[in-house]
Amino acid sequence: MSSTGNGRPSDLWANITVGLVTAPVAAGVAFMILYSIGVIGLLAGGFTLESWVQVLADVRTWVTLGFSIWVGGASLLTSLVLALGIHTILGAAPRRRALHGLWYAPLAVPPLVAALLSVEILGNAGVLARLGHALGWIGQPLDFPSPLYTRCGAGIVVTHVALVTPFLVLLFDRLARNERVEGLTEAARTLGASATQAWLRVRLPVLMRAATPALSVYFLALAGAFEVPLLVGAQYPPMISVAIQRRFSQFDIAMRPQAYALATLYAVLSAAILFLVFAARRRRERLERGA
């Protein structure tokens, strides 16, 4: 392969790379579509949209999707506000030191462990409940207002926020360096901006502008989360990944096409969101270059 410039071998290699990643995903989606429309499968009887009609007409589908978007959005927004606040308080890391090592430690916590900790700390018989009992605030485990297993998804949101906020703090720290946010803030201050004005008119828009692609991927990851809703979510409504897993695990093979239809629906929606975000960013960049 060429080691210099833009020779065709380089392009070919890049295409192969992307093919290695997209081929399995594309094949998987194609398989799910064909299965869901009855073209292939153990009980396939030829092309039919029956599974799709059942899934789309089922109110539970839309409740699940809406609930996933709600939990993903609430988790991301809460984490965003917290992370921006923390990043602002921590301020510019001194030139000779990056962000304190402590802030990297949460990267070591997987979603399953976070969910387990939520149960043991925030659960009805968790550490906080026991502390409340010791202080005389509650009598029985059920007296403790645990956010877990609630229909509004509070337990899922709290766990996600604990997981995602440190990531966002690190993200903002890195972006602030790349975008020279401290220098820009100083420029704004000497132009007459108060600390609040500099934050609102410079730091916030510059960081959000740079972080949008990463935030959109985070949103999709949160909306499509599996482990945390599995352990701390209510039975109903389930989040989309749990709903798909439940349908897929059912003994009734006849339900399999519906499982694939639901999975395809979510795959297409999430791919579309990703595409829209990237397209919007490209359009903005093109406008800025061409203006």
Partner 1 sequence: MMRRALSAALLGLGLLCLGVLALLSVTRRWPWPVLVPTELHADQWRELFASESGVGGVVLRSIGMASSVAILATAAGFVSSRGVARHPRREGLFLVLHLPFAVSPVVLGVSLSYFFLRLNLAGHIVGVVLAQFILAYAYAVILLSGFWNPQVQALSGLAVTLGADRTQVWLRVLLPVARPLLMLCLLQTFLISWFDYALTLFIGGGRVSTLTTALYQYFGSGDVRLAATCALLLLAPPLAAIALHQRLLSATVAARLEA
Partner 2 sequence: MDLPAPDLHVQGLDVRLEKEHVLRGVTFAVEARATLAVIGVSGSGKTTLLRAIAGLIPIERGHILLGGRRVDELAPNRRNIVYLNQEPLLFPHLDLFENMAFGLRLRSVREDEIRERIDVLIGSLELHGLSGRYAHALSGGQRQRVAFGRALAVEPAMMLLDEPFSNLDPETRAGMQELFKRVSRERGISAIFVTHDLKESLRVGDRFAVLRDGGLRSFADRAEFCRDPSSGVAREASYWRMLTGSEGNESSGVGTQHVAGMAQAFANCDDDHGDK
Identify residues 190-229 at the interface with partner 2 (CB under 8 A): 190-195, 197-198, 201-202, 205-206, 209
Query: Hey, which residues between 152 and 191 contact partner 2 (CB under 8 A)?
Result: 179-180, 183-184, 186-191
| For partner 2, the closer CB: 8 or 289 | 289
> Which of these ranges, 48-56, 152-160, 196-204, 262-270, lies near partner 1 under the rule CB under 8 A?
262-270
Least Å distance, CB 72 to partner 2, is 26
**Contact flag: residue 205 with partner 1 (CB under 8 A):** no
In the complex, minimum distance from the CB of residue 76 to partner 2, in angstroms, rounded to a whole number:
21
Longest dimension (CA), the chain: 74
Among partner 1, partner 2, none, what does residue 205 contact (CB within 5–8 Å per kind)?
Answer: partner 2
Among 62, 120, 180, 183, binds partner 1 (CB under 8 A): 120
For the segment 141-180, give every residue that binds partner 1 (CB under 8 A).
Answer: 141, 166, 177
Distance of closest approach, residue 260 Cβ to partner 2, in angstroms: 43
CA atoms within 13 A on the CB side of 130: 6
Tell me, by CB under 8 A, how many residues bind partner 1: 88
Please report whether residue 289 would count as binding partner 2 according to CB under 8 A. Answer: yes
Site string (9-48) toward partner 1, x via CB under 8 A:
-xxxxxxxxx-xxx-xx-xxx-xx--x-------------
The site partner of 109 among partner 2, partner 1, none (C-beta below 5 to 8 Å per kind) is: partner 1
Residues that bind partner 2 (CB under 8 A): 179-180, 183-184, 186-195, 197-198, 201-202, 205-206, 209, 288-291
